[in-house]
Structure 1
């Protein structure tokens, strides 16, 4: 996931702002980590550079 996406992403559940938590990255993108919403306390995983923004009940 490219870090530039953070400017347009929001929580799909409550539309709150997301925080990026990086576990592994390269020069171009975040490879593993999570997106976290403080407003509704949901966490969305990033695996192999792909963020999973499905609500928890649909993952």
Structure 2
């Protein structure tokens, strides 16, 4: 694996974990909050999908 790819994969892992940690402590307030959390979780799932497909650039992009 190329050094750049290793760095990218490490960043994806770091930010995915931060998101997981934050979601545990996050609760929606009102309809807008529910919509925001739904979108956040959708992007998180997109990131996992892209990683499984071997596309770390899109996986990283979906997280941020």
Please report the TM-score for the alignment, with normalisation by the length of structure 1. Answer: 0.28
Please report the TM-score for the alignment, with normalisation by the length of structure 2. Answer: 0.27
Which is bigger in relative contact order (C-alpha 8 A, separation at least 6)? 2
Which structure dedicates a bigger proportion of its chain to strand? 1
The higher radius of gyration belongs to 2
